[in-house]
Amino acid sequence: GQSLEQPSEVTAVEGAIVQINCTYQTSGFYGLSWYQQHDGGAPTFLSYNALDGLEETGRFSSFLSRSDSYGYLLLQELQMKDSASYFCAVPPSPRDNYGQNFVFGPGTRLSVLP
């Protein structure tokens, strides 16, 4: 089976930096994804790490350590619009294996205060 753990809530102020951690247990591993979801909306893709290390995309960065089964999403220069839920997820296996689950973590609710 597969399971992911995240903190349920994080609060920070505008302009700050926040790190959202994710630990996972999987029977097979093909990388770690991060999604953002605003209230009432659908998840939007933020990043994907297949290899160890840090991936930077603008204000958002994502890190993976496969040996530690751990990753994090780093949000810099926080803005009010960043208030949302953030999910780590283990994506499906390669195309020729439809049997893998796509598992989402429980989500972290980020509140950005003025």
Partner 1 sequence: GAVVSQHPSRVICKSGTSVKIECRSLDFQATTMFWYRQFPKQSLMLMATSNEGSKATYEQGVEKDKFLINHASLTLSTLTVTSAHPEDSSFYICSARTSSDTQYFGPGTRLTVL
- Rounded Cα gap, residues 4 and 23, in angstroms: 6
Does residue 71 belong to the site contacting partner 1 (CB under 8 A)? no
Distance of CA 24 to the CA centre of its chain: 11
Residues near 96 by beta carbon (within 8 Å), at least 6 away in sequence = none
CB nearer to partner 1: pick between 14 and 45: 45
Q: Which of 19, 40, 16 is nearest to 88 (CA)?
A: 19
From the list 71, 105, 110, 112, which residue makes contact with partner 1 (rule: CB under 8 A)? Answer: 105
Q: Nearest distance from residue 56's CB to partner 1, in Å?
A: 19
53 conformational bin, left if phi > 0, alpha if psi -120 to 50, beta if neither: left
Smallest distance, partner 1 to C-beta of residue 83, A: 15
- Is residue 106 near partner 1 by the rule CB under 8 A? yes
The SS3 of residue 41 is: coil
Considering only the stretches 18-26, 51-59, 67-75, 98-106, report the one whose residues sit in contact with partner 1 under the rule CB under 8 A. Answer: 98-106
Binding mask of the shown chain, residues 25 to 54, with x at each position contacting partner 1 by CB under 8 A: ----------x----xxxxxx---------
Q: Which two tokens stand for residue 48?
A: 């994907």
Give contact residues for partner 1 (rule: CB under 8 A). Answer: 35, 40-45, 87, 91-92, 94-95, 98-99, 101-107
